[in-house]
Structure 1
């Protein structure tokens, strides 16, 4: 399938929440690079969402500060929207990625954009074959710290933790370097958080493998 490197967005984030990009029909987008710069003389905060789910929430940027966010391998499906804003309207953003022919599923990807629950729930099932976790983003979009636990319920029995009571601070986004974590047949990836079921948003990209 055809793969094209594209400039997803280049410009200033205004003080109004704005659609930056909509993935075309019958395509999917792999994010590759995200660079932000506060070109103003005052501190500000910025917000960034993928598929109507927070990815960055009220992140501070000092005057003149540049921030590089390693979003590599986060996949966004056809029709999904990327939005962004900055409170002072002084933040520039340069976002690039690879646009692939076909929806995410036809390229072997499974995507999840959702919120963690206080009760350990299934995030992905190993039914249907092996998968590798390519990208994991956690975002705390409330005014209190929250702890996150992610574990694997193994096919042969027993559960192992990948992340145990990891604190995601107020307004923090964590990009977890999962380094192609393999989920095999009949394993279950589970996740939970302290607080309510709307406090921690997460984005996961899985790729089917043989």
Structure 2
């Protein structure tokens, strides 16, 4: 099946929710990059969700600054949407990726979103499959700084400080996760959401 390269959004970010893209029936989409440019003379706080993935939660874009996030590989299933809004006008978003026909038996991704709290939690890759961990996105949606730890089962992130309303993205991990292994996560304070993006391994 051929990919259709798409520009999912190329628009100013308003102060009320904008839904620039919805995955069509029979398709899935993969977001590859996000570019947000603030042309205003003041900081702007931006909220961005891709499907159910927290990308930004009141993340501050400095005046006349540009934020570029690439190599994310965030899959979205049919009817899922991109949602964004900002605290003030002045920011423009460009979001790119591709669409592909959805065939359940050929869908290559697994996406897990979980709260990261101050007691250790864990999970195995759903579907009882071996997988490659491609990307981890950790969004601190609280007003408190917090330190995040992730192990698979050995550490890949140790007490990483994530400031209030900030996001840490671990791209291009390419870490093989056998189906027998668990992934564990913990933070020093509540209020963080982590999304793990896997690609299934066919052996």
TM-score, normalised with respect to structure 2: 0.90
CA contact (8 A) 2:124 2:180 kept: no
* Counterpart mapping for 1:97-112 below 5 A: 97-102=97-102, 106-112=106-112
Q: Deviations over 1:77-107 (max 9, x none)?
A: 2222211111112100111101111067742
Give matches, 1:57-206, under 5 Å: 57-102=57-102, 106-125=106-125, 128-153=128-153, 160-196=154-190, 199-206=191-198
With over 3 angstroms needed to count, the CA separation of the structure-2 counterparts of 1:85 and 1:149, relative to structure 1, is same
In the alignment, is the contact (CA less than 8 A) between 1:130 and 1:183 conserved in 2? yes
TM-score (norm 1): 0.87
Alpha-carbon distance in 2 for matches of 1:117, 1:104: 32
Question: 2:72–2:171: 8 Å Cα contact kept in structure 1?
Answer: no
Runs of 4+ in 1 over 6 A off after TM superposition: none
Kept in 1: contact 2:38–2:91 (CA 8 A): yes
The equivalent of 1:157 in structure 2 is none
Q: Which runs of 5+ in 1 are unaligned?
A: 154-159
Match of 1:30 in 2: 30
**How many matched pairs?**
202
1:11-59 Cα distance to aligned partner (Å, 9 max, x none)? 1000112222211222221111211111223221111112244211112
Report the equivalent of 2:45: 45
CA separation in 2, counterparts of 1:187 and 1:127? Answer: 13
* Cα separation, 2, equivalents of 1:103 and 1:116: 32
- In structure 2, relative to structure 1, the CA distance for the partners of 1:49 and 1:17 (3 Å cut) is same
**8 Å Cα contact 1:38/1:65 also seen in 2:** yes
